[in-house]
């Protein structure tokens, strides 16, 4: 039963506020025990990802990234370059050096070990859940057991599987952890007014920004927390927020200095289909419709997918579109409730504003980003959903969430416990199941191609995985051809959906190449290269098809271009050596020993460059040795062949 005071009209219950004038304490031993419980459950929820491999974007940031593989020796360059610098298909638009530095350090500790990275991700997730519990406890002053349920629902929510199971999403985890630490430091500053705590808050915010750019929303979250949960005067609120804003501006200046701009200059339609809109209304109406889908994923996280890009969500072309009108109506109603309850400092008003603020950058309403929908973007915003869920449930069963003296296991709140228990169980089951899909690229793409069969990107991923050279080499001829035909069918469908897709044409070329249809491979590679001439990989692959057709001089031109576009591409460098080596053989067979010797020496020079880029490039050492022997230098030839023999594949 609520108190008589709480039943009076126009006098809603005001939560206890955080300031030096208000005392608040809880059983510290209980907090420690519950924190341990949260950490344990959070860890166990994702324990079945410990043996997973590198998946999806892990490749571009970790195991195929030259800088990450450089370990601690690459840290200086990591902090002075873009997020994906060191990977062939480089996108110079993101600056997340702290996250990438973590991967590099982990690589130094345990080289090429995805299991170690997964362990760190799970530990980070557990830490994030514990910190969330402490932040909510410090600020909201809600009954500790209601907050426990809130955090457990957050921990179990299936929409978080992408963040934890995909190593690359460490940026989301790290960003949230430092935002939460910033809020804890702010709490201490409000209590003791020590400048050191203010500096700690700003330092943690800086680390959040260096983890992921979207942490900039913290500048707006600060006054939100101060308004709802403290009695901080406006002047002091402005001072605190101003400090965070200053840090944000410094980060923006650093970002521009390193990257050259803010935001993504060229966003492919394949990644964000909002770019195919024919009008401002169509673009923003579809964005609002997608916001409705985000809410739906929070309410009913099924089915889940690693990709929602073109052509999975239809464009809103008319104002009468039901999905758009429903999403618009729901969001307007939420905004109405939030504004109406603002002065009362109602917890639901806080949740709504928290959700809107943290979703602002991902919404595509104010600016277009690199995707129109991704589950990982709900990681921080889902905090609002989980808190609102438990608070609304408490209100439904007339449980005073601000009753700090109330225990939990009693008749009064039995219904709350049962319902949250059911939701937690369902979420846990789905999370544990979805985790298994993220084990490898093969398991993930095979599952998600069923969920989003008309996603051009997923069809590309699926075909690319089927045409993986290492897998093809291990198969019997008939099984290999069946796999290639399956890949061809998938990539053809992707190109039918969206022809202006260079990566898909590149994969089509690889399939033709594997089928030894070199002229068709050349056509596909040429198509990819013409659409994206600045991608070194396309030039390298075009060169391989020319090489296979015996056009060594033309192949050398493409390989040279590939090395100029990507200084980390040891394969292109080695291929360049092979092209010159093949030209040397041609001259040698014609009896032109002078030109043959010249070509062989250029070949050796390029093979050696490949070994500098990748000291463990076995084939490059072998080719140096063979070419030296072709020159009659058996001593150096055997020296490099011996080096190759010592390298394990």
Residue 10, sorted as left (phi over 0), alpha (psi -120 to 50) or beta, turns out to be left
**What's the Cα-to-Cα distance from 516 to each of 495, 512, 520, 545, 578, rounded to whole Å?**
21, 6, 9, 9, 19
In the chain, which stretches have pLDDT less than 50?
A: 1-24
153 falls within a domain: yes
d(CA 257, CA 95): 11
Residues 257 and 370 grouped into a single domain: yes
Query: Taking Cα atoms as reference points, which of 412, 385, 346, 343 lies closest to residue 140?
Result: 346
Residues 339 and 252 grouped into a single domain: yes
510 falls within a domain: yes
Residues 507 and 573 grouped into a single domain: no
**What is residue 405's predicted lDDT score, i.e. its pLDDT?**
66
Which residues are CB-neighbours of 519 under 8 A, at least 6 positions away?
549
pTM: 0.90
d(CA 146, CA 401): 7
**What is residue 108's predicted lDDT score, i.e. its pLDDT?**
95
Tell me how many domains the chain contains.
3
Could you say which DSSP state residue 63 is in? I
**What is residue 349's predicted lDDT score, i.e. its pLDDT?**
97
**What is residue 91's predicted lDDT score, i.e. its pLDDT?**
64
Residues 585 and 502 grouped into a single domain: no
Residues 369 and 302 grouped into a single domain: yes
449 falls within a domain: no
Q: Which of 477, 498, 532 is the last residue of a domain?
A: 532
**What is residue 401's predicted lDDT score, i.e. its pLDDT?**
86
**What is residue 28's predicted lDDT score, i.e. its pLDDT?**
87
Classified as helix, coil or strand, 18 is: strand
Which domain does 508 fall in, by range? 455-532
Residues 613 and 631 grouped into a single domain: yes
Q: What is the pLDDT of residues 246-282, one digit of tens each?
A: 999 999 999 999 988 877 777 889 999 999 999 999 9
């Amino acid at each position: 039963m609520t108190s008589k005071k709480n039943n009076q009209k126009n006098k809603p219950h005001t939560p206890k506020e955080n300031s030096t004038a208000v005392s608040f304490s809880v059983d510290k031993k209980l907090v420690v025990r519950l924190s341990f419980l949260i950490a344990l459950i959070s860890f166990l929820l994702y324990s079945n990802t410990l043996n997973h491999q590198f998946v999806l974007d892990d490749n571009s940031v970790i195991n195929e990234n030259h800088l990450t593989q450089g370990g601690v020796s690459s840290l200086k360059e990591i902090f002075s370059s873009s997020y994906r610098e060191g990977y062939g298909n480089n996108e110079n638009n993101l600056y997340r050096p702290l996250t990438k530095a973590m991967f590099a350090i982990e690589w130094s500790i345990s080289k090429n070990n995805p299991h170690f990275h997964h362990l760190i991700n799970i530990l980070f997730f557990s830490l994030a859940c514990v910190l969330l519990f402490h932040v909510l406890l410090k600020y909201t002053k809600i009954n500790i057991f209601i907050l426990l349920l809130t955090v457990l629902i957050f921990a179990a929510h299936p929409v978080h599987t992408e963040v934890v199971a995909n190593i690359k999403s460490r940026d989301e985890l790290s960003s949230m952890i430092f935002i939460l630490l910033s809020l804890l430091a702010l709490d201490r500053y409000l209590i003791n007014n020590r400048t050191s705590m203010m500096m700690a808050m700003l330092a943690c915010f800086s680390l959040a920004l260096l983890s992921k750019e979207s942490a900039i929303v913290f500048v707006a979250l600060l006054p939100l927390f101060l308004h709802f949960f403290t009695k901080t005067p406006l002047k002091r609120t402005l001072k605190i927020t101003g400090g965070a804003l200053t840090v944000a501006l410094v980060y923006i200046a650093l970002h521009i200095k390193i990257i050259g701009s803010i935001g993504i200059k060229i966003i492919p339609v394949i990644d964000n289909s909002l770019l195919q809109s024919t009008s401002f209304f169509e673009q923003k109406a579809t964005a609002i419709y997608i916001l409705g889908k985000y809410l739906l994923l929070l309410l009913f996280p099924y089915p889940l997918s690693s990709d929602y890009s073109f052509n999975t969500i239809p464009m809103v072309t008319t104002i009468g579109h039901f999905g758009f009108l429903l999403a618009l109506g729901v969001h307007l109603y939420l905004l109405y409730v939030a504004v109406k309850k603002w002065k009362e400092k109602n917890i639901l008003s806080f949740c709504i504003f928290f959700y809107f603020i943290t979703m602002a950058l991902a919404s595509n309403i104010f600016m277009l980003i690199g995707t129109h929908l991704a589950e990982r973007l709900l990681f921080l915003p889902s905090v609002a959903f989980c808190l609102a869920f438990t608070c609304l449930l408490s209100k439904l069963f007339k449980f005073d969430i601000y009753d700090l003296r109330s225990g939990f296991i009693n008749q009064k709140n039995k219904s709350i416990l049962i319902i949250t228990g059911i939701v937690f169980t369902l979420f846990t089951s789905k999370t544990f199941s979805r985790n298994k899909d993220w084990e490898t690229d093969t398991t993930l793409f095979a599952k998600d191609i069923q969920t989003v069969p008309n996603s051009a990107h997923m069809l590309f991923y699926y075909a690319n995985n089927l045409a993986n050279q290492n897998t093809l080499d291990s198969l019997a001829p008939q099984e290999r051809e069946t796999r290639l035909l399956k890949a061809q069918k998938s990539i053809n469908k992707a190109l039918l959906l969206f022809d202006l897709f260079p990566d898909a044409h590149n994969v089509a070329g690889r399939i033709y190449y594997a089928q030894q249809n070199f002229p068709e491979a050349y056509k596909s590679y040429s198509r990819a290269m013409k659409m994206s001439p600045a991608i070194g990989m396309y030039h390298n692959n075009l060169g391989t098809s020319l090489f296979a057709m015996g056009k060594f001089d033309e192949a050398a031109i493409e390989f040279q271009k590939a090395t100029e576009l990507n200084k980390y591409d040891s394969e292109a460098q080695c291929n360049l050596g092979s092209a010159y080596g093949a030209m040397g053989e041609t001259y040698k067979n014609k009896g032109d020993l002078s030109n043959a010797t010249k070509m062989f020496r250029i070949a050796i020079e390029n093979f050696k460059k490949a070994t500098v880029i990748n000291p463990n490039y076995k084939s490059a050492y072998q080719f140096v040795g063979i070419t030296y022997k072709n020159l009659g230098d058996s001593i150096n030839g055997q020296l490099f062949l011996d080096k190759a023999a010592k390298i394990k594949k």
